[in-house]
């Protein structure tokens, strides 16, 4: 009995699993909306804007209030998400999937893709009817078919449409780009200053180490070490003074005080004679300053990189000193004692070290101030770049609309009807008040020429013959009885509604266009006046409406599955009672 019960339950589970999984027509992937803070901020949006928007930080850097930054960040985020969704849709379609309602369905055996459905091979119906390929508007640029910006393409291509082009004269560029480059001029000037500051700080540091070696040699009365460090100190000091840098000024008093000794005086002359004219310090920072506008930002950055590492430049001066033919260590004990008196007892060395520390502290202070200023300027440069990006977006949208208007002027019938292929046979001519002269009907931005008009009890029907010699019918309604039409419906030849047009604000002008397919699924919504948050809310509403309209939702479970499960559950209950 226990074995039979086990087999019975196992059979029921197998049936349930088959019903729930075996009837799937394909694999469904859903679009996951990225997180604004984790996936957008700091990656596609400079972090300063997000810090200002969400934490009220860096607001001065971006010249926005926290609320304004919040609105700006969310607006850019919505555009970015739209681009991500477009990429998801493109990937779905190119991979053989069926895109609908932010989902991609990939048909799996024995189903295959036919149109926007997964169908079985034996259910395929051959359709011999063919329709003429109608021409539709194709924009030149990073656009969707409705002239809206394709975010993924725009993100990759926008700079080539901008004035960030070194071939354009600076004065001919946009205000936004001019301000961006002016800001980078200041950044490059500060970076050139920082190079000099870092180089001089390193030279002073190594000079102090050499001075300490010299002091230790004086204290310990080590003649060889004393003169080695003294001549090296002399070489570097005179190198900096000769190159016009003035870094070794702190130590010149130590050197000149030693001139009272003949051996020191002659040695210093030798040192000055072996210093080459082309010092390692001869780095011309003027090749960077003020060059962004003339040679371009990238070229200026390459020039800055070519200056090298400031620490390595400083170290090379000391390497030159080590390889130079410096004087010998021929000095008497009496002369050493004189140096000890001049440099130790009179504290010449300590005063030089103290002056060096002060000079380096001032350099470090300036270096830190420059670094902070560079960060602020980089945020400003990013802000100007985003403003140029917005200018390019507006320019491209305007240009696309101009292209579209020019294209529509050349068409003999409306793009609106060409794309949606509306038709209805005009079989019943009763009650038609024929007007054989062509007249015009204006709906929003669309103009339609019609040759017949029928006035009925609750509507006015307009008949238009398109290029395929099919009759297109548009019915106009006054739903609130105020003698002004506020709803227009378009029907195909088999009485399917294919388009709904509304005047939602009762101003006498249509403002909402809704396209539907033969399953009455909303395929397109045009509401030009909606803001981004409102459009997002409307899109969410459409998703819910589509799920109600759909009779063939790939991810839904048919009602008969629930009925079978209820029967199985009832069988289990009866089985237990009989036991």
Which is it for the CA torsion 572, 574, 577, 578, positive or negative?
A: negative
DSSP 331-375: --HHHHHHHHIIIIIT-HHHHHHHHHHHHHHHHHHHHHHHHHHHH
Residue 240: partners with Cβ closer than 8 Å, 6 or more residues away: 203, 246, 247, 248, 281, 317
Q: What is the pLDDT of residues 519-552, one digit of tens each?
A: 667 777 777 554 333 333 344 444 444 444 344 4
Q: pTM for the whole thing?
A: 0.42
As given in the structure block, the two tokens for residue 377 are 């300027």
- Please name every residue paired with 489 in a beta bridge, in sequence order, or none if there are none: 475, 500
For range 88-117, the mean pLDDT = 82
Q: What percent of the chain has pLDDT over 70?
A: 54
- Please name every residue paired with 476 in a beta bridge, in sequence order, or none if there are none: 460, 488
Mean pLDDT over all residues of the chain?
A: 68
Q: At 309, is the secondary structure helix, strand, or coil?
A: coil
Q: What is the pLDDT of residues 386-413, one digit of tens each?
A: 898 899 898 988 888 888 888 877 764 4
Q: What is the pLDDT of residues 254-296, one digit of tens each?
A: 444 444 434 344 444 433 444 444 444 444 445 445 544 444 5
Q: What is the pLDDT of residues 154-191, one digit of tens each?
A: 888 888 888 888 788 888 888 988 888 888 888 888 88
């Amino acid at each position: 009995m226990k074995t039979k019960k086990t087999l019975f339950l196992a059979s029921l589970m197998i049936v349930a699993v088959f019903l729930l999984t075996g009837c799937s027509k394909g694999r469904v992937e859903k679009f996951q909306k990225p997180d604004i803070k984790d996936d957008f901020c700091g990656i596609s949006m400079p972090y300063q804007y997000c810090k200002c928007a969400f934490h009220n930080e860096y607001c001065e850097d971006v010249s926005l209030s926290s609320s304004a930054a919040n609105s700006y960040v969310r607006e850019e985020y919505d555009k970015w998400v739209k681009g991500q969704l477009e990429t998801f849709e493109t990937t779905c379609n190119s991979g053989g999937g069926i895109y609908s309602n932010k989902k991609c369905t990939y048909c799996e055996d024995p189903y295959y893709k036919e149109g926007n459905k997964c169908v079985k091979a034996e259910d395929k119906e051959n359709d011999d009817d063919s329709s003429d390929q109608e021409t539709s508007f194709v924009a030149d640029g990073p656009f969707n078919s409705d002239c809206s910006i394709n975010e993924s393409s725009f993100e990759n291509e926008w700079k080539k449409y901008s004035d960030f082009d070194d071939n354009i004269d600076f004065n001919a560029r946009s205000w936004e780009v001019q301000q961006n480059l002016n800001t980078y001029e200041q950044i490059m000037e500060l970076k050139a200053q920082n190079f000099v500051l870092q180089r001089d700080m390193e030279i002073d540091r190594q000079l102090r180490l050499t001075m300490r070696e010299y002091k230790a040699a004086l204290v310990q009365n080590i003649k060889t070490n004393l003169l080695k460090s003294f001549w090296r100190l002399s070489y570097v000091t005179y190198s900096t003074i000769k190159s016009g840098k003035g870094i070794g000024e702190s130590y010149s008093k130590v050197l000149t005080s030693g001139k009272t000794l003949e051996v020191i005086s002659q040695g210093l002359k030798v040192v000055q004679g072996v210093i080459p004219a082309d010092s390692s310090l001869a780095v011309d920072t003027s090749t960077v300053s003020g060059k962004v506008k003339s040679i371009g930002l990238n070229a200026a950055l390459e020039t800055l990189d070519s200056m090298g590492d400031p620490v390595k430049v400083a170290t090379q001066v000391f390497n030159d000193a080590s390889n130079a033919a410096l004087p010998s260590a021929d000095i008497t004990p009496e002369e050493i004692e004189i140096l000890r008196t001049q440099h130790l007892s009179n504290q010449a060395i300590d005063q030089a070290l103290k002056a060096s520390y002060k000079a380096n502290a001032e350099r470090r202070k300036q270096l830190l101030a420059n670094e902070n200023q560079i960060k602020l300027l980089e945020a400003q440069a990013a802000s100007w770049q985003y403003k140029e990006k917005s200018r390019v977006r507006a320019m491209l949208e305007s240009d696309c609309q101009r292209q579209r208007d020019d294209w529509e002027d050349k068409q003999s019938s409306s793009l609106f009807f060409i794309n949606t292929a509306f038709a209805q046979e005009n079989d019943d001519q009763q009650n038609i008040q024929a007007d054989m002269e062509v007249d015009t009907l204006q709906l929003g931005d669309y103009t339609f020429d019609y040759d017949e008009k029928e006035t009925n009890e609750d509507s006015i029907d307009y008949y238009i013959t398109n290029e395929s010699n099919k009759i297109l019918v548009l019915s106009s309604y006054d739903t609130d009885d105020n003698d002004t039409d506020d709803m227009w419906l378009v029907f195909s030849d088999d009485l399917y509604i294919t388009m709904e047009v509304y005047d939602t604000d009762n101003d006498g002008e249509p403002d909402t266009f809704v396209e539907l397919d033969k399953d009455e699924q909303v395929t397109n919504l045009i509401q030009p006046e909606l803001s981004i948050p409102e459009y997002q809310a409307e899109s969410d509403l459409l998703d819910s409406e589509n799920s109600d309209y759909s009779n063939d939702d790939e991810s839904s479970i048919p009602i008969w599955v629930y009925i079978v499960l209820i029967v199985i559950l009832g069988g289990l209950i009866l089985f237990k009672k009989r036991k």
